[in-house]
Chain A
Amino acid sequence: MIEVKNVYFTYPNGVEALKGVSLTIKDGEFVAIMGQNGAGKTTLVKHFNGLLKPTKGIVLVDGVDTRKVSVATLARKVGFVFQNPDHQLFSETVEDEISFALKNFRFEAETINKRVDWALNLLGLTRYKKTSPFMLSGGERKRVALASVLAWNPKILILDEPTIGQDYQQKEKLRHFILQLNAQKKTVIIVTHDVEFVAECNPRVILMSNGEIIADGEARKILTDPKIVTEASIVPPQITQIFIKLKNYGFPRDILDIYEAREAILNSLRKGFK
């Protein structure tokens, strides 16, 4: 469980990135943190693995104050996949990259091999096992970064902008894969701008603006609320936008996907709605 209690954070250059944030993320939750660039999303999640410590307030991970433990200790429990994979990758081969943390956590050689193969397979990277990460495309490097964190099986997984540079099919896989991890009771926290992706997953959404939380609730509720969405400078999903434009025709307000859209339209035509 992650507990954030009235946290303020000011960067050394004086920028106040968090202004009194409080929230609780329970074990096994799937949370999407959304908001504009500069809203404080990444700053907030960097508090979850102790990369940043609050200037004021407190962050507890499973009851432990993050100021009192090292990032390395927290990392075993909280895996963090960065937005830009190049900030994370450094090894000569994809295999070395994925096994690096496992070696540091002192897993046995056999376990390491198994876990590396498992992670490679899961993310469709097996053919790149001996390849340098820097030979891969942006989307592929992103998956290597994800594989290297998944390999040590952290209880809480933080993904900063996981869908960037991923094609449609990879996104579909990522979605299934997150839902599967979540079904196995892992806590998954994504930081994302990708409203279409969030609309398809329907997680709990925490919406930030200007260092504060301005909404917290089910994706369906938040992404379809024109007022909240405007306040956070978010563009609603395409299907929702259609129904925002058709607001005078009496459709339900919270339509997120194509199949709901189809049903709503067919119903309305059947009724001969005027």
Chain B
Amino acid sequence: MAIIETENLTYTYPGATNPSIRNVSIKIEKGEFVLITGPSGCGKTTLCRCFNGLIPHFYQGKLEGEVFVAGLKVDEHSIHELAKHVGLVFQNPENQLFALSVEKDVAFGLENLGVPRDEIRRRVDWAMKLTGIYHLKDRAPNELSGGQQQRVAIASVLAMKPEIIVLDEPTSFLDPLGAENIFKVIYELNRKFGITIILVEHRLDLTAKYADHIIIMDNGEILLDGETRSVLNSEKARLVGVGIPKATRLYQILKKDRVNLRSTIPLSSDEMAAMLEEVLKSK
């Protein structure tokens, strides 16, 4: 069974007249790096809230259809139980941090799970080093910059070593190099440790190159769902206006001009530059 599976999932927030997501049926396999994108208000965040049980346990409202996460039926298991399998990193780190020091914030989830002290120490240090905040461990999270705070939030989730990490626009507040570092960290977690990554992002220029699988949503429904390169090369993806990577767009334009580029669709400047180099050399 897929690590996340939804079947005809429809959800309406309490008091809302229309559902925020409609008939969503998706499968995410273990170890995949999945990108979820689509216009603001298309239901991306709502869908992610179904993966860790915030919907229906916290938000209530009306849930139809089914969600299975790590083999558990989400509406039959508590948020607490699901937290061992799914870590969630929000858009705004301020909503997530509360402890007096960075180190305590990162350790909090583990303490609650009753993990032995040595193990907590090890995992907290590991998570702080990976996210580049080890030198900030004694600082108060609320004194840090937005970017540093987001790294603390990511470290707290990493420390739990969940099978799935869901990140909802995690680098919005980071500078480009800081963002790239975080994406690399996430990618490493995915490749080295096989953690399933679900990343909600608008900026495909920065992130498409990491993803095996992309889901494009529009107006509460799944518009496109499949392998990243073929989805982003489709006419539908261009028309919905999700901002496909500039390198991919340049490739499409040059192909139309009959430039003899290889048929693999590029997702990054590196890939595009390499393809152009082949053509330029063969001239």
Contact = CB atoms under 8 A, between A and B. Distances in A.
B218 to A, nearest CB: 11
Contacts of B143: 13
A88 to B, nearest CB: 13
B14 to A, nearest CB: 11
A169 B254 contact: no
B249 interface: yes
Contacts of A245: 269-270, 273, 277
B279 interface: yes
B45 A246 contact: no
Given A168-B241, A238-B205, A265-B259, A138 B253 contact: no
B11 to A, nearest CB: 15
Contacts of A235: 176-177, 180
Interface in A160-195: 161, 164-172, 193, 195
B279 A269 contact: yes
Given A37-B146, A268-B280, A195 B176 contact: yes
Nearest to B179: A193
B250 A242 contact: yes
A29 interface: no
Interface residues of B, number: 48
Interface string B224-255: 00000000000000000111011101100110
Contacts of A171: 243
**A: contact size bracket:** 35 or more
Contact of A37 (B145, B241, B243, B276): B145
A261 interface: yes
A104 interface: no
A228 interface: no
Contacts of A242: 247, 250, 269, 272-273, 276
Interface of B: 38-41, 45, 91-92, 94, 143, 145-148, 169, 172-180, 202-203, 205, 241-243, 245-247, 249-250, 253-254, 257, 259, 268-270, 272-273, 276-277, 279-280, 283
Interface of A: 13, 35-38, 83-84, 86, 137-140, 161, 164-172, 193, 195-196, 233-235, 237-239, 241-242, 245-246, 249, 258, 261-262, 265-266, 268-269, 272-274
